Homo-oligomer: A and B are copies of this chain.
Amino acid sequence: MIVKYNLLKKEKDTKARYGKLETNYGTYETPMFMPVGTKATVKMLTPDELYEMKAGIILSNTYHLWLRPGEDLIAKAGGLHKFMNYNGPILTDCGGFQVFSLVKNKKDITEEGVHFKSHIDGSKLFLTPEKSIEIQNKLDSDIAMSFDECPAASASYEYLKNSVERTLRWAARCKKVHNNPRQALFGIVQGGAYEDLRKLSAIETVKMNFDGYAIGGVANDGESKEDMYKAIDYSVPYLPDDKARYLMGVGEPADLLEGVVRGVDLFDCVLSTRIARHGNAFTRYGKINLKNLKFREDFTPIEDSCDCYCCKNFTKAYIRHLLLADESLGARLLSIHNTRFLIKMMEEIREAIKNDNLLQYKEDFMNKYESKKREVK
């Protein structure tokens, strides 16, 4: 089996969809938030902790695993699932996002592929669509992503147009060499915030008949929220109903809601674990920083209503102590809470879609979530 999306319900007032994704590792409901395990580990967490928080698909990264420990080693281990002992579906990003962030000079981006230097030792590397797919085939993830150009948020229309066209040629090359029968291959729609480019990219990518479609180029530094919403709105109308839609690199609660109402099924983001390492926690009333003095004697959990291991067992005062004492258990507990927070939020979003009251849910959620924004650190 490869990944198969079943659309089960469209919400009445929005483009939101409730569906199920069949994978090699079971069937999962969508919309879904996918925790990120860049280097074959969701930072600080074990697979069991991921199961306990009801994670479904997790992400890993082609660029990082290519460099370390290498795709051949992971293949020898029996693939990424066995290597990291995750008994659930894994999506691998194509490496484009990382590689383009390492390009120093535009001439290093060629039709054949991308020249850049390793972030580990500065050695010269060359990544092509074929190589990205070869690596992903060996990693044996359940979903591979085709190799796309990720232009800067500041790129001109002219640049983006050429980039979209190149990404389409690269997508065709990816499709051609992909040869892991257990692995789905998703195409990526690019085109910045331009309606004609997104349309072109979506239509031409869909023509190649991928197993699912991603909307890329929305999580770059400097990308505005408005541009992200445009990118979705200009892409989604051309994506087929019977394939999953994945908005890459997005995981702020507000953006999950905006993405879902616009018809997105899958999201991923490092945010839930990254903000944890800085002492931040998602709550229904916005983000809080546990290092804040006001939590010094707060002997209540981050959220009374939360069912995560952190909230069921530890107080804000204790987590604050761990953070200030540089004890890594603090960031670990926050990583659990934050990731569960987004997964739980998606559970509620799915319920709201089924009940045709997503806009009400969104309004209620955001009213609460924004209510204490001035306190966010």
Residues of A at the B interface (CB closer than 8 Å) are 39-41, 43-48, 64, 68-69, 73, 76-78, 83-85, 296-297, 299, 309, 313-315, 317-318, 320-322, 324-325, 327-329, 332-333
**Contact indicator A44/B328 (Cβ below 8 Å):** yes
The answer for the CA separation of A76 and B296 in the assembled complex, in Å, is 11
Chain B residues, Cβ within 8 Å of A40: 318, 321
Q: Given known contacts A73-B296, A296-B69, A327-B39, is B332 in contact with A85 (CB within 8 Å)?
A: no
**Contact indicator A299/B39 (Cβ below 8 Å):** no
Q: Given known contacts A46-B329, A328-B43, is B69 in contact with A314 (CB within 8 Å)?
A: no
Chain B residues, Cβ within 8 Å of A327: 39, 41, 43
- Smallest Cβ distance from A138 to chain B, in angstroms? 15
- Smallest Cβ distance from A47 to chain B, in angstroms? 7
A–B complex contacts, Cβ < 8 Å, 13 sampled: A39-B321, A41-B327, A43-B327, A44-B328, A46-B329, A64-B325, A68-B325, A73-B297, A83-B321, A85-B318, A328-B328, A328-B332, A332-B332
Top 5 A-B pairs, shortest CB-CB distance:
A69-B321, A39-B325, A41-B329, A41-B327, A85-B313
How many protomers of this protein does the assembly include?
2
**Contact indicator B44/A318 (Cβ below 8 Å):** no
**Contact indicator B41/A322 (Cβ below 8 Å):** yes
Q: Given known contacts A68-B324, A69-B321, A325-B68, is B45 in contact with A314 (CB within 8 Å)?
A: no
**Contact indicator A313/B83 (Cβ below 8 Å):** no
Find A317's partner among B46, B83, B314, B321 (CB 8 Å cutoff): B83
Find A299's partner among B77, B309, B313 (CB 8 Å cutoff): B77
- Smallest Cβ distance from A339 to chain B, in angstroms? 14
Chain B residues, Cβ within 8 Å of A314: 85
**Contact indicator B329/A76 (Cβ below 8 Å):** no
- Smallest Cβ distance from A100 to chain B, in angstroms? 21
Find A318's partner among B84, B320, B328 (CB 8 Å cutoff): B84
- Smallest Cβ distance from A207 to chain B, in angstroms? 39
**Contact indicator B313/A47 (Cβ below 8 Å):** yes
With CB as the reference atom, state the residue of chain B lying closest to A83.
B318
- Smallest Cβ distance from A144 to chain B, in angstroms? 21
**Contact indicator B41/A297 (Cβ below 8 Å):** no
The answer for the CA separation of A48 and B310 in the assembled complex, in Å, is 12
- Smallest Cβ distance from A309 to chain B, in angstroms? 8
The answer for the CA separation of A369 and B313 in the assembled complex, in Å, is 39
**Contact indicator A329/B73 (Cβ below 8 Å):** no
**Contact indicator B45/A321 (Cβ below 8 Å):** no
With CB as the reference atom, state the residue of chain B lying closest to A40.
B321
- Smallest Cβ distance from A156 to chain B, in angstroms? 37
**Contact indicator A332/B44 (Cβ below 8 Å):** yes
With CB as the reference atom, state the residue of chain B lying closest to A327.
B41
With CB as the reference atom, state the residue of chain B lying closest to A324.
B68
5 further interface pairs, Cβ-Cβ under 8 Å (given A41-B322, A43-B327, A83-B321): A41-B329, A43-B328, A73-B317, A77-B299, A78-B299
**Contact indicator B43/A317 (Cβ below 8 Å):** no
- Smallest Cβ distance from A348 to chain B, in angstroms? 27
**Contact indicator A317/B69 (Cβ below 8 Å):** yes
